[in-house]
């Protein structure tokens, strides 16, 4: 028995050594997004964006000796922390992923970070978790995000409303970490800018009827209703209720509400509505959209570019560290993301790998013009949307 055990152990050691020594090894990356749940209409483009970066790098001779990159998808569900944790656990322990591109919603991201990423020492880069609370979460240097904190988006949205001369607004937010954090940040910024928030009330997702919520918001009154929720869930129900009862006809929306299903449902009823979502007008954004449409993906979809950037950062950091082990490459992420170095735009990952292989330095700008600040999060650039003639249009960047 002893001999058998020893023999098995030796064999196992030998094979793993052989794997490590082999040239074309396989690096698995997790794509943990909410393919079901409240933001399911956004995630297909996000997942495709991340996988585009992986396909670009996979097999490149300068990437860990020509290793292939294999994406493994997991469902983060957006709302069910236990399910998201189980999915992440599967990615890390069964599939052996070396890094996770995800998760997306703030609540599940916090849970996965605390329960899976930190205990297992796996790097996580979220393309869309925007809760201010994640800035201070315990992460052992393993967590990054290519989306900025909502504290910043709250300021931007508040400034736009003030510039449009709105003095009083009512706020409703989806009752979770994202909604609460965003609403608090918005209220603080709006009041700082001299405005008044008449009521800041939560709404639950998945109810049949939001007449009661709309009733109290209408009672509080205001020039506009600020909806910080999800477009496939309560957020749309609130807007429906407000339009039906004639309580508000001017809306201001957070990033979770910017989606095509919004205009598909309400069309021109929402004309004049404004919104913000992360986005930038840098060269990279346009390049990414070209690449995406060539690949048959909707590159304008919210967070698709950030997802590409998140996956790219993991891959470039691996190349810079010369290792796919999270412990080795985590410290390189900020290095490849920030200046100094050659500016890298979408589609130029091959060039970046060549520079890194030659010992040079890169400054990955990507689709969102990413620059990591503070505790490893994007500094933030926002697109200002307006609904004109029943269509979502970008009217500016700030």
Nearer to another protein, 213 or 309 (CB): 213
Contact pick of 114, 211, 286, 357 for another protein (by CB under 8 A): 211
And the tokens for 377?
């999060």
Decide: residue 165, CB within 10 A, 0-12 exposed, 13-18 middle, 19+ buried: exposed
And the tokens for 251?
């809306």
> CA separation (Å) from 42 to 91, 135, 369?
21, 24, 21
Contact pick of 204, 264, 290, 325 for another protein (by CB under 8 A): 204
CA distance linking residue 291 with residue 51, whole number of Å: 13
Which range of residues in 14-22, 184-192, 207-215, 272-280 is near another protein by CB under 8 A? Answer: 207-215
Least distance to another protein from the beta carbon of 246, Å?
A: 2
Contact pick of 55, 133, 188, 199 for another protein (by CB under 8 A): 199
CA distance linking residue 264 with residue 160, whole number of Å: 25
CA distance linking residue 134 with residue 130, whole number of Å: 8
Contact pick of 51, 75, 177, 213 for another protein (by CB under 8 A): 213
- Cβ–Cβ < 8 Å for 278, 383: yes
Binding of residue 221 to another protein (CB under 8 A): yes
Nearer to another protein, 202 or 373 (CB): 202
Do the bridges between strand 251-253 and strand 68-75 make them parallel or antiparallel, or are there none, so unpaired? unpaired
Binding of residue 208 to another protein (CB under 8 A): yes
Binding of residue 219 to another protein (CB under 8 A): yes
Per-residue binder mask for another protein (CB under 8 A), 245-284, x = binder: xxx-------------------------------------
Strand partners, 365: none
Contact pick of 57, 218, 238, 372 for another protein (by CB under 8 A): 218
Binding of residue 191 to another protein (CB under 8 A): no
Least distance to another protein from the beta carbon of 230, Å?
A: 13
Least distance to another protein from the beta carbon of 350, Å?
A: 42
Which range of residues in 64-72, 125-133, 237-245, 376-384 is near another protein by CB under 8 A? Answer: 237-245
Q: Which residue has the tokens 């500094």?
A: 379
Handedness of CA 245, 249, 252, 257 (dihedral sign): positive
Nearer to another protein, 101 or 270 (CB): 270
Least distance to another protein from the beta carbon of 325, Å?
A: 41
Binding of residue 16 to another protein (CB under 8 A): no
Nearer to another protein, 28 or 203 (CB): 203
- Cβ–Cβ < 8 Å for 262, 288: no
Decide: residue 396, CB within 10 A, 0-12 exposed, 13-18 middle, 19+ buried: exposed
Closest among 361, 379, 356, 357 to 369, alpha carbons compared? 379
Per-position b or e across 275-285, b if 16+ CB within 10 A of its CB: bbbbbbebebb
Per-residue binder mask for another protein (CB under 8 A), 145-184, x = binder: ------------------------------x---------
Give the footprint of another protein on this chain (CB under 8 A): 175, 199, 201-204, 206-209, 211-216, 218-221, 237, 244-247
């Amino acid at each position: 028995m002893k001999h058998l055990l020893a023999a098995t152990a030796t064999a196992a050691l030998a094979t793993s050594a052989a794997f490590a020594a082999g040239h074309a090894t396989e690096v698995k990356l997790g794509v943990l997004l909410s393919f079901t749940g409240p933001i399911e209409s956004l995630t297909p483009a996000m997942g495709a964006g991340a996988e585009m970066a992986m396909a670009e790098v996979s097999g490149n001779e300068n990437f860990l000796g020509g290793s292939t990159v294999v994406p493994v998808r997991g469902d983060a569900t957006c709302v069910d922390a236990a399910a998201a944790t189980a999915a992440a656990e599967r990615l890390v322990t069964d599939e052996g992923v070396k890094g996770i591109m995800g998760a997306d919603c703030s609540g599940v991201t916090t849970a996965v970070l605390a329960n899976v990423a930190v205990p297992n020492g796996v790097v996580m880069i979220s393309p869309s978790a925007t809760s201010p609370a994640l800035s201070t979460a315990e992460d052992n240097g393993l967590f990054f995000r290519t989306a900025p904190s909502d504290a910043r988006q709250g300021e931007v949205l508040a400034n736009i409303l003030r510039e449009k001369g709105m003095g009083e607004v009512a706020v409703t937010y989806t009752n979770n970490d994202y909604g609460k954090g965003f609403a608090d940040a918005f209220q603080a910024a709006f009041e700082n800018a001299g405005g008044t928030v008449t009521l800041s009330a939560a709404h639950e997702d998945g109810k049949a009827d939001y007449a009661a919520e709309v009733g109290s918001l209408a009672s509080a009154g205001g020039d506009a209703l600020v909806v910080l929720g999800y477009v496939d869930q309560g957020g749309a129900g609130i807007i429906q209720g407000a339009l039906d009862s004639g309580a508000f006809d001017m809306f201001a929306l957070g990033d979770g509400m910017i989606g095509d299903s919004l205009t598909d449902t309400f069309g021109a009823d929402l004309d004049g509505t404004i919104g913000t979502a992360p986005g930038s007008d840098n060269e990279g954004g346009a390049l990414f959209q070209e690449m995406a449409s060539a690949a048959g993906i909707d590159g304008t979809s919210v967070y698709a570019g950030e997802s590409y950037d998140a996956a790219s950062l993991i891959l470039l950091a691996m190349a810079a560290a010369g290792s796919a082990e999270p412990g080795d490459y985590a410290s390189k992420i900020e290095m490849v993301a920030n200046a100094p170095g050659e500016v890298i735009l979408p589609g130029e990952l091959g060039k970046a790998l060549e520079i890194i292989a030659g010992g040079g330095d890169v400054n990955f700008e990507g689709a969102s013009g990413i620059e990591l600040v503070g505790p490893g999060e994007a500094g933030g650039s926002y697109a200002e949307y307006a609904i004109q003639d029943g269509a979502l249009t970008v009217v500016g960047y700030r």
